[in-house]
Amino acid sequence: MSEQESLRCSSARNRGGVQRVEGKLRASVEKGDYYEAHQMYRTLFFRYMSQGKHAEARELMYNGALLFFSYNQQNSAADLSMLVLEVLEKSETKVEDEILECLANLFSQMDQNSPERVAFVSRALKWSTGGSGKLGHPKLHQLLAVTLWKEQNYSESRYHFLHSSDGEGCAHMLVEYSASRGFRSEVDMFVAQAVLQFLCLKNKNSASVVFSTYTEKHPSIERGPPFVQPLLNFIWFLLLAVDGGKLTVFTVLCEQYQPSLKRDPMYNEYLDRIGQLFFGVPPKQSPSYGGLLGNLLNSLMGSGEEDDGTEEPPEDSPIELD
């Protein structure tokens, strides 16, 4: 028997063993012996890990978590979900779309208000970038954003969309968010904030996509450009200016639209950052705000940016993307 055939036979035997074990555990859960089944899952987890059977351990914990979720055993399910992450961390498993989808599936079934869910997503995002301190894999952010959107948790969904590459999905979510939670007079502000924040993350493509899709799909926005709302015209011109990279155009644009930019005190902070990233504007020597707003500026910026060849700005001008 060749080495390859031997490996296939070994894998088949291992899979058969996992299936037999899962059958017994499922029977215990179906009888309502939740505690006993949970402890058995944990025992098998540590046994498999000690034997280096990482794939089997991950599969068993994932299926076990789904089983407990189906019986509304949230604590046991969340515990096994964390063990799935432990396998991924200790086995140094490479990031693949299939694994990210499994993690997002576990996240979607957790109690929306549970502290375990917060811990799970934080740890999953950290694993997805190899523990590098960055903000998480864009694909995982996108999957989380869609789940939160379905739950109508628009604020958290927006955060994850910002760290994904799905500008179109973000735009559709923002249209729904604006229509259901916002005032008609604020339709322009929903997309303006998203565009400015995407640009702060050096994601020009998603910034353009979210703007074009939102302005096209929103029922309260007349087709443009130009637009009825001055703020939308500013964003349109800004996206053109970013492509051109001319500081004089950027400066005049910001001066001309100051009345619109004063509608949100954070706009000029975002524009300071955008000026540094795309127009060579030197960073401010000291923060322009103190107190609570100054604290908000201590943020995620800088740790989650992908290297796209753009010169990194100094780290003394972070911006909160909440």
In this structure, the number of other CB atoms found within 10 A of the CB of residue 51 comes to 10
Q: How many CB atoms lie within 10 A of CB 114?
A: 13
Which residues constitute the domain of residue 275? Answer: 174-289
With respect to residue 142, please indicate whether it lies within any of the assigned structural domains.
no
* pLDDT one-digit tens code per residue, 43-77: 999 999 999 999 999 999 999 999 999 999 999 99
What is the rounded (10 degree) CA torsion for 201, 309, 249, 285?
70
Q: Are 98 and 186 part of one and the same domain? A: no
CATH number, domain with residue 222 = 1.25.40.10
Is 164 inside a domain boundary? no
Q: 179 with 115, same domain?
A: no
Q: Please indicate, yes or no, if residue 36 is contained in any of the structural domains.
A: yes
In this predicted structure, the answer to whether residue 79 has a pLDDT above a threshold of 90 is: yes
Quote the number of domains for the chain.
Answer: 2
Please tell me whether residues 28 and 93 are part of one structural domain: yes
3-state secondary structure the chain: CCHHHHHHHHHHHHHHHHHHHHHHHHHHHHCCCHHHHHHHHHHHHHHHHHCCCHHHHHHHHHHHHHHHHHCCCHHHHHHHHHHHHHHHHHCCCCCCHHHHHHHHHHHHHCCCCCHHHHHHHHHHHHHHCCCCCCCCCHHHHHHHHHHHHHCCCHHHHHHHHHCCCCHHHHHHHHHHHHHHHCCHHHHHHHHHHHHHHHHHCCCHHHHHHHHHHHHHHCCCCCCCCCCCCHHHHHHHHHHHHHHHCCHHHHHHHHHHCHHHHCCCCCHHHHHHHHHHHHHCCCCCCCCCCCHHHHHHCCCCCCCCCCCCCCCCCCCCCCCCCC
Instruction: Kindly state whether residue 105 falls inside one of the protein's structural domains.
Output: yes
Q: Which pLDDT belongs to residue 284?
A: 79
Report pTM.
Answer: 0.84
Same domain, 216 and 131: no
Q: Regarding predicted confidence, which is higher, 4 or 103?
A: 103
Check if the beta carbon of residue 85 is closer than 8 Å to that of residue 124. Answer: yes
| Single-letter amino acid, residue 52 | G
The Cα–Cα gap between 142 and 203 comes to: 14
Report pLDDT for 321: 63
- Say yes or no: 275 and 213 in one domain: yes
- Predicted confidence band at 96 (pLDDT cuts at 50, 70, 90)? very high
The 10s digit of each residue's pLDDT in 104-125 is: 999 999 999 999 999 999 999 9
Instruction: Tell me whether residue 6 is in a domain.
Output: no
Mean pLDDT of 147-162: 97
Q: Which two tokens stand for residue 164?
A: 């994904």
313: confidence class by pLDDT, cuts 50, 70, 90: very low
Long-range pairs, 251-257, Cβ under 8 A, ≥24? 257/230, 257/231, 257/233
When mean pLDDT is compared across 15-24, 32-41, 231-240, the lowest value belongs to 15-24
Does a structural domain hold residue 165? Answer: no
Within a domain: residue 299? no
74 and 126, same domain (yes or no): yes
Domain check: are 205 and 278 in the same one? yes
Residue pair 275/250 in contact by the 8 Å Cβ criterion: yes
Same domain for 91 and 43: yes
Q: Are residues 100 and 183 in the same domain?
A: no
| Cα Rg of the chain, angstroms | 24
Same domain, 218 and 115: no
Query: Residue 315 domain-assigned?
Result: no
The mean of the pLDDT values for the chain is 87
Task: Find how far residue 165's CA is from the centre of its chain.
Answer: 10
- Please say if the pLDDT value at position 134 is more than 90: no
Report whether pLDDT(128) > 70. yes
